Amino acid sequence: MRELMPFLALFKRHWGWMAIGLSLSLLTLVMAIGLLSLSGWFISAAAFAGLTVATAQAFNYMVPAGGVRGLSIGRTAARYGERLATHNATFKLLTELRLWLWKKLVPMSEQQLSGYKQSDLLNRLVADIDTLDHIYLRLITPMLTSLVTILLLFGFLSLFDTTAALALSGLLLALWLLLPPLFYQLGKKAGRQQVQAKRELRATSVALVSHAAEARVFGYQDDLQQAFFVADEKLRRSQKSLNRTSGLSVAGVVLMQAVAIVLVAYLAGPMVEQGAYSGAVMALLLFATLASFEAIAPVAAAFQYLSASQLAANRVNEVVANPTTQTFGEQSIDAQASLQFSQVSFAYPGQSKSVLQKLSFTLEPGKKLGLFGPSGVGKSTVLALVNRQWHAAGGTITLGGQALEAIEESKLRQHLVTVSQRVHVFNGTLRENLAIAGDFDETQLVDVLNKVGLGELVDDAQGLEQWLGEGGRSLSGGEKRRLQIARALLREAPLWLLDEPTEGLDAKTEAQILELLTNLPQNPATLWVTHNPDHKRFFDGIIELS
């Protein structure tokens, strides 16, 4: 259970909604038991009263009938409120958990996340976090409400028959204690298999979609599909097994309910014969017994899913407690900071050959350095080191005289921007795609779009609100790069990292982008990776990697 502790701590922030949901859930149960007990008593008492004219006339139908009506309306209202409150609490918990994990993932570099497939991280963020919401809805709520209901039931029934009250509450309490470990064991294997199968299904479906084109061209579509079907079958098998356990829990609870009814009837029968209470009270006891099992039914189901929640918690904790997580310092950087590599060496994990060996250079504020060299020599790796995607194994990288690791994360991000060949257009509007650079008003956004030659995008009827991402207006390669430059311009970062920003563009677009990048208004320091010898004229210095 220790693995669940960090998540229970996060739950605290929403205790208000959780408590409302719990209270309404308890109220619903109490009203359900009250409704059935009162109805049982009322029908039997009315039948007994009808045996003679005198008793029939003296019987007060109005008050119990009003009670039945009140309880049934109250129960429906409480159930509705309970659903609203517990679902609201669950969604709040999900948001809390997902944001918490997202915030932990974002600062991690590629190095720290290497070893995880993207689909696996996605799965941890989505499916595993979903599984964790069972803790509140399926575990905490039924366990607490059923326990309180048993205690209340004991108090209520002892008003009529202490022995029957003790017997029924004792039986319910024994079930409350025994069902969880029993169903935890029964659901353990299938619960874990389900988490595993969900992971595989997501990985194979992501592969199926993202590799679709290559798979078709090279004829391995069937293999991918087969892997997907195997994972799907695994998931179905685990669900079937869990459903069987659920069915077993329902059958078990119904059986115990029958046992309880026989037991209470056995104890109450002689009491009625002895005249300790009426037959109508016996009906009340029997109907209360019948209804009380509504409290115990979810307890068995709850623990069947615990192992899945535990495994999900372990998987989430594993990423968060990544042993390679590097913490960064708190230093800020001066806008006029120079970037310096001194004897920097680097090799990718698991590779014996170094990509960089003792690389040294200095990039002064406002200067442009061109980074040349054959393909695969390590040019992009240099940019990745400045971006802290990876960390140098030897030597030092400093910015404004401070070690790169000592600089606070947000300060570093404010200081530099990267313009690469691949631009991500988010599934959102033009405004949202620019707004990742910060908070800007309409004039500033239109102004920057004009600067990068994308002014005509705003002429669209929807202007900045036009949809750009998936399913939106498709941008050409050159337009996407200009969008990226617009984002970078908005940031006013003093250090720009350019990774072949004009690669693959036609001559006209290339000329436009070059014009833009070589005449940036704030004249940032620029480290520019390129293969094109014509670009040499733009640079104050050249680094040739070999």
Ligand X SMILES: Nc1ncnc2c1ncn2[C@@H]1O[C@H](COP(=O)(O)OP(=O)(O)OP(=O)(O)O)[C@@H](O)[C@H]1O
Site residues (vs ligand X, CB under 6 A): 348, 355, 373, 375-381
State how far the alpha carbon of 511 is from the alpha carbons of 9, 304, 482, 487, in Å: 56, 64, 12, 20
Q: Which is nearer to ligand X, 190 or 543 (CB)?
A: 543
Smallest gap from Cβ 537 to ligand X, in A, equals 20
Record the tokens describing residue 27, joined without a space: 């109220």
State how far the alpha carbon of 412 is from the alpha carbons of 223, 395, 419, in Å: 44, 20, 16
- Give bridge partners of residue 541 from the DSSP assignment: 369
- CA quadruple 115, 120, 126, 127: dihedral positive or negative? negative
Smallest gap from Cβ 349 to ligand X, in A, equals 7
Give SS3 for 408: coil
Smallest gap from Cβ 120 to ligand X, in A, equals 16
Smallest gap from Cβ 546 to ligand X, in A, equals 11
Nearest to 378 by CA among 403, 423, 344, 406: 344
424: how many CB neighbours lie within 10 A of its CB?
Answer: 12
Smallest gap from Cβ 385 to ligand X, in A, equals 10
Nearby residues of 422 by Cβ (< 8 Å), 6 or more positions away: none
**What's at 50, amino acid-wise?**
G
CA angle 309, 312, 316 (to 5 degrees): 135
Record the tokens describing residue 538, joined without a space: 């733009």
Q: Which is nearer to ligand X, 69 or 536 (CB)?
A: 536
Alpha carbons 198 and 288: distance in angstroms, whole number: 41
Alpha carbons 297 and 176: distance in angstroms, whole number: 10
Smallest gap from Cβ 373 to ligand X, in A, equals 6
Nearby residues of 290 by Cβ (< 8 Å), 6 or more positions away: 36, 257, 261
Q: Which is nearer to ligand X, 72 or 111 (CB)?
A: 111
Alpha carbons 408 and 386: distance in angstroms, whole number: 14
Record the tokens describing residue 172, joined without a space: 């319910």
Give SS3 for 349: coil
Alpha carbons 393 and 356: distance in angstroms, whole number: 10
Q: Which is nearer to ligand X, 348 or 440 (CB)?
A: 348
Q: Which is nearer to ligand X, 208 or 377 (CB)?
A: 377
Smallest gap from Cβ 224 to ligand X, in A, equals 23
Smallest gap from Cβ 377 to ligand X, in A, equals 4
Q: Which is nearer to ligand X, 126 or 377 (CB)?
A: 377
Smallest gap from Cβ 341 to ligand X, in A, equals 14
Q: Which is nearer to ligand X, 353 or 508 (CB)?
A: 353
Q: Which is nearer to ligand X, 31 or 355 (CB)?
A: 355
Smallest gap from Cβ 423 to ligand X, in A, equals 16
Q: Which is nearer to ligand X, 309 or 530 (CB)?
A: 530
DSSP state of 402: E
DSSP state of 243: H
* CA quadruple 163, 169, 171, 177: dihedral, nearest 10: -150
Look-up: residue for tokens 């009906």?
283
Q: Which is nearer to ligand X, 522 or 532 (CB)?
A: 532
